[in-house]
Structure formats: C-alpha cells, structure tokens
Chain A
Amino acid sequence: MSVTEAKSYPAPRPSKLTLFMRSFLPWQFVRFLVINLRMTVMIKKSHGRNIGPETPDNR
C-alpha cells in the first residue's frame, strides 16, 4: 500500500509554543505586517519590466 500514514511518519512536529504562536493574535498582527511587507516587495519586483521601444530583444 503506497499511502503514507501521517500518524507514524517521522516528520518534524511543531512544538506547543509554535502552535500557540500561530494563532496568538498580537504576534499574528506583527506577522500580518511583516508578510504584507514581504508581499509588497515581491509585487514591486514582479510587475514586469519596460524593455522600451525597438530593442533587438523585443520579440
């Protein structure tokens, strides 16, 4: 059977503190700001580039 059983699989499991912090609202508010900042940077880097008119690489 090729189903991997999650219960017995030796993957790293989050600690109680990690689980708590994932839904601890003050900390999540900080993360909200950080993730938004990261995404803003990503969006700025990813809106394509102006290659200008008539460059040889245009096609």
Chain B
Amino acid sequence: MRVVILGAGISGHTAALLLRRKLSKKHEVIVVSPNSLWNWIPSNIWVGVGNMKPADVTFDLPSVYKRARIEFHQAKAIEIYPEGLGDAAHPYVLVESTKESDRGQKTEIKYDYLINATGPRLNFGATPGLGPDGFTHSVCTVDHAYSTALELDKLIEEMKTGQKKTLVVGTGHGLCTCEGAAFEYIFNLEFELRQKGVRDNARLVFLTNEAELGDFGVGGLQLKSGGFVTPSKVFAESLFVEREVNWITGAHVHKIEKNRLEYETLDGERDTLDFDFAMLLPPFTGVPLKAFNKIGEDISNQLFNASGFMKVDADYTVKTYEQWAPEDWPKTYQTAYKNIFAIGIAFAPPHQISKPRKSKNGTMIAPAPPRTGMPSAIMGRIVANSIADMINGVSENPTHAASMTEIGAACVASAGANAIVGGAVSMTMYPIVPDFKTYPNVGRSLVHTTGEIGTAGHWIKKLLHYAFIYKAKALPFWWIIPE
C-alpha cells in the first residue's frame, strides 16, 4: 500500500513520521511538499524581532526523510483524481515540481491513501496593499519573518536618533485567524524595543478582528482567578495597559497604502491609521487544488468548501450561532472518499468558534477558527493511527478520533525572549471548541482552562522549541515527545 501526504507542516510531517513507524517496509510513505525546508513556525515570531536566525527554526527535509525511509517529492499538488481517470481506475494526485532543476514538470503519483495537509494559502490579495509585496510585513514564513526583522532593525536605528514611530501589529482582514501569533509578535516587539532603549519613541497599536482582546478566535476563555471566574478579556486588557500597547478591536482592514491603512470597526466607523511599520497577518484560504472524477468532470466543489478547505466528517449544514453544537465538528477527518483525509489547516471547519459578527455596514468581521500547533499535530497522529489500522486490516473505517470539542490545547504565547527578564503567557484550554452542554455558562472546564504570565512561560516556550525541532528531525527516541 502507498500513503501519499500532501504537505510537510506540523500535521503532515507528524502523520508521515508516525505512519513510517507504524507501517512495515513493504508499504510506502510519500510526502509531497513545495518546500525543502521544514519550519517550526511558532518560533518565526522570534525571527521576526531579530532574536533568532532562519537557520534556528528550519532544517533540510530531504535528508531527514531519506534517513526515515520516506520518499520525498519537492512539488506542489495541483489535481486529485480520487477515482482515477478513464480506464486507469487507480486514484492519483498530479503534482508539479518546485525544484530548481525541473521546475514545472508534472508527475502523477498513485495512492491508496491520501492525506491532505497542505496548510493555508496566505491570501494577502484579500486586502489591497497587504503583505510583503505591498506595504506591510509578515511572520507567516521564515523568509517573511527575516525580512521583517531587517526592516525592524532599520526602524530601531532611526528611533535611536530620537525619531518617534508608530508600529501596528495585528490582522490585515476581518476574517483572519491566528490572532495569538499577532499577540505574541507585538509583545515580543515591545520587549525588544525596551531592551534596545527606544520604547519611549514607539507608539504601539494592536489592530485585531477580535471583538474584544483575549478572544484569540476561540471566543475567549473563562479562568478561575482570585476567587472569581474571570474572562480572558480582563487579563489581556491588563497586559496591554501594563505594557502601554494601544488597541483597535473588531476591525476589518479595507486598504493599505504606504504608511497608511483604512479600516472599519464593528460599530460601522471607518477611519485611517498612519504607521511607520506594520506586521499584519493575512487571511487564509485553502491551497489551489482541484479534484476530478473518473470521466474528468470537476468535482472540486464536492471535496472543498468555497474557501478551498477540504470537507471532512463534519456537519456543514448552515446554522446560526445559537444552533452550533459540539457534534458539528469532525472526529476522524475522513472525507467522502474513505481513503482521503484532511488535517491541520487544510480541513474545512463547520463554522467559526468565536461568535461571528457583522459591522453596521454589513462587513463580516469574524475570526476564523485557529487549528494550528497542537491540534494540528494531534490530527496528524490520529489519522496516521487510523490509516495504519486500515492498512493492517484492523478495520475498514477510521479507528481513532480527535474532535476539537474533545481535545484541549496548551499554548505558550511569548511576551519577551529572555531567560531572566522575559516572559510568556502559558495557557491551557479544554476543550478547544466550547461545549456549553457539558460546561454550562463558561463552555470549558474551569479546572483545565488556565493561564498565567511569567518567566517560567518563556523557559517552557524555549524548551518546546528545541523539543519539537528534535522530534521533527526524527532523532533517536523522537516518538517519546508528545504532540
């Protein structure tokens, strides 16, 4: 049997390594990824403030896969034929090489099982002027993060001469996700500016599509603290006030020009903000991938939703916020085709987690559900386990499940990279998607949903950085390290 995995990010790479470990040598594991470098994306934040170099957060994938006996194709998938084509009834995926030596060359790769872990397409085009080709910076890829750090260096040099600067960090569109990454970046930025003695010359503004601070795209958290159950909004606002970081919430950015952006907020107000430096995250879509049936008809809309994310075993019925239920969320990540799975950012969530809102002008401002990091890796693990069992004849159906309403997440949001005076917000939440039936009023367990800030958080963040890179390199006993 042959398992083909599209994408070598956190979820795809986890699935590939686990499958190789679980399947005997007679079975093939093939990874298709357009990049030959593996990137520990959570640490791009530190690259983006100049605290780490690109080499600290990346490594060469082909050598790791060679050692792990996983076949690697540096290519991007462009078409899936789940039923084969014509008389050739074996399913296959069409990939296009991104390698310098044979760029553009197309190859058909047959599969028995396919995992779509292609991650997001960074949709900078959603907002005119957004992104490194426009007027803002990004930390979404290691190259983006490094360019951002170089620009920041120049700005700091100017601030050292006494010039005042406005720095904006946040989301570049009303439908963005990963607000936590923007949160981390602004507090690392604030810390670095303090360390370099130019904090007084910087006005920091956090611009976010979250309706309130501390939402993080998961509808916020309720935490037990000091005898009260307190919303994360209070803790987040406290940190912003303490570090003198100003904010704009419920914002959709309409347009960005050189040193100026135009935005609209939930109350319908339209305004402009002048800036000298901006790091704004883009919204995500699925990667451009088409699907065809055996007579060559385009069946992409059966496999993918309108944003290009792959439909899995979720309930995609259109419902109001009040009708949302934990059961809407997928469990096994299997698609309508029993041998195709989608994990990580590539699967289509049934709806947002945070309450979606529209501005008075009808503009949708709704954080998309975060599904990166720990949940992505867990999806990789359970899908690998299911496929291994299906191949080994244990079952015809998936044997493992991990609904985001049944799993939790541990997040460490860096707020200053220094072992003595730095810090991070250490959070756990359970479950990720609130379940108001099991946990009335608060939606999550008050025992397992926690948060605190301190230097210990930084130590943990740094420890995780080294542990996960070690694991991803498949070095001895890598499998002991959990996702």
Are B423 and A4 interface neighbours, CB within 8 A?
no
Are B448 and A31 interface neighbours, CB within 8 A?
no
Are B409 and A42 interface neighbours, CB within 8 A?
yes
Are B382 and A42 interface neighbours, CB within 8 A?
no
**Is B408 an interface position by the 8 A CB rule?**
yes
Listed A/B pairs (23) with beta-carbon separation below 8 Å = A3-B273, A4-B246, A6-B240, A6-B247, A7-B244, A9-B237, A9-B240, A11-B241, A14-B242, A22-B454, A28-B456, A35-B457, A38-B410, A38-B448, A38-B450, A45-B408, A45-B430, A47-B382, A48-B401, A48-B402, A48-B406, A50-B385, A58-B398
Are B407 and A45 interface neighbours, CB within 8 A?
yes
Q: Per-residue CB proximity of B231-251 to A under 8 Å, as 1/0?
A: 000100110111111111101
CA distance A45 to B397 in the complex (A): 23
CA distance A35 to B249 in the complex (A): 30
CA distance A6 to B423 in the complex (A): 20
Are A48 and B238 interface neighbours, CB within 8 A?
no
Chain B interface residue bracket vs A: 35 or more
CA distance A50 to B245 in the complex (A): 45
Are A42 and B399 interface neighbours, CB within 8 A?
no
Are A12 and B238 interface neighbours, CB within 8 A?
yes
Pick the contact of B394: A25, A47, A53 (CB < 8 A): A53
Q: Which of A1-59 contact B (CB under 8 A)?
A: 1-7, 9, 11-14, 21-23, 25, 28-29, 31-32, 35-36, 38-39, 41-43, 45-55, 57-59
List residues of A whose CB falls within 8 A of some B CB: 1-7, 9, 11-14, 21-23, 25, 28-29, 31-32, 35-36, 38-39, 41-43, 45-55, 57-59
- Select the residue from A1, A48, A52 with max chain B CB neighbours within 10 A: A48
**Is B298 an interface position by the 8 A CB rule?**
no
Pick the contact of B271: A1, A28, A45 (CB < 8 A): A1
> Using Cβ atoms and an 8 Å threshold, which residues of chain B touch A12?
234, 237-238
Are A23 and B430 interface neighbours, CB within 8 A?
no
Distance in Å: Cβ of A47 to nearest Cβ of chain B: 6
Are A48 and B382 interface neighbours, CB within 8 A?
yes
Distance in Å: Cβ of A21 to nearest Cβ of chain B: 7
Counting from the closest, the 7 A-B pairs by CB-CB distance are A53-B395, A48-B402, A58-B397, A48-B382, A32-B456, A46-B407, A11-B237
